Structure 1
Amino acid sequence: MNHSKKPLFKSAMDFNGRPLAMCLEKIAEQKQLLNRVRNSLPADIAEHAIHCVLSNTRLLVYTDSAVWASQIRFFNQEIVKSLPANGRQTIVSVQVKILLTPTSSTSRRTKCLPSAKTIDDILGRVDDKSNDALDLALAKLGRTLKKRLADKTA
């Protein structure tokens, strides 16, 4: 028995030669939906509603940050009430998602090394002849920081 589900994604070739027209029609529907959602929100919040997609009975609203997502979630009921129930489906819930920009996900932390004076102070407080685990760890830290500072300035 084969109970495979119908795939949700259709290939562009499955649209009988009019894939571009279908895509443009879908985009127009989504823009119209986004305009309705924005009209139901206050102006300062509406500009942060970037995109809308209808998925079964759920409306997905995309925004640019978590701050605006929480503000949009506050207006969930107003959004649902503002969208008329068309013959095909009724919107029951609104889910807000955050779109991450490529620059925010690829930000890298920079190394922050202490000054040469601080490193010398660390090494000055260490007893190299001690077998104490803390003294040995502090000595190793001091040597590593001194080496990295020398590499950075070279």
Structure 2
Amino acid sequence: MDHSKKTVFRPALNFEGGALAKCLEQIAEQNRVLRIVRAALPASIAEHAEHCVISASRLVVYTDSSAWASQIRFFQQAILNKLQESGQQKIVKVQVKLYSPLPEFKASPAARLPSAETVQALLRQVDENSEDVLNRALAKLARTLSKRLEN
């Protein structure tokens, strides 16, 4: 009897159609084009060309501010010439766009609990045995707040 286990998971690159492989190829191509674009720009401006995407006959260059976008637009013809030299014959237009970086994650502030006196006043006002749904909910809230204040 063969007790060897077959692996259940396959590497992501082995999936049918090679979707991940296609994505990796596209990213590699975008990085190659970005290096060409940066080579066409002065060093001070090149570092602000963040990403490139080829869309049909258009190259979209992404940057982080409008000031750098206008500088990159000024070198549009130099970028096109450099791309033509590298064999990217299908690109005839360069478009520069701004991207907005992801906002920083801000932790939500800790919950502000009412004072012990407020919780005690709540507990005195509610009737836990009441048939009123709102009264029972308020009693449950008061008990929970009381426990939180003890911790």
Letter in 1 for 2:63: V
Letter in 2 for 1:9: L
Higher-Rg member (1/2): 2
Letter in 2 for 1:97: S
Structure 2: runs of 5 or more not aligned: 1-16, 26-30, 84-90
The answer to whether the 8 A contact 1:33-1:52 is kept is no
* Cα deviation code 1:36-81 (max 9, x no counterpart): 389xxxxxxxxxxx6622222111124xxxxxxxxx46x6984564
Q: Which residue of 2 aligns with 1:130?
A: 130
Structure 1: runs of 5 or more not aligned: 11-21, 39-49, 63-71
Taking the TM superposition and a 5 Å limit, the aligned residue runs for 1:5-154 are 7=22, 9=24, 26=35, 29=38, 32=41, 35-36=44-45, 52-56=50-54, 57-62=59-64, 72=65, 78=70, 81-85=73-77, 86-87=80-81, 88=83, 89=91, 90-100=93-103, 104-105=104-105, 107-151=107-151
2: distance between equivalents of 1:149 and 1:30? 62
1:150: Cα distance to partner? Answer: 0.3
Report the RMSD for the aligned CA atoms in angstroms: 4.3
Aligned length: 114
2: distance between equivalents of 1:145 and 1:31? 64
1: distance between equivalents of 2:73 and 2:37? 21
1:28: Cα distance to partner? Answer: 9.2
Counterpart secondary structure, 2:35? helix
Identity %: 21
1: distance between equivalents of 2:76 and 2:115? 64
2: distance between equivalents of 1:131 and 1:93? 66
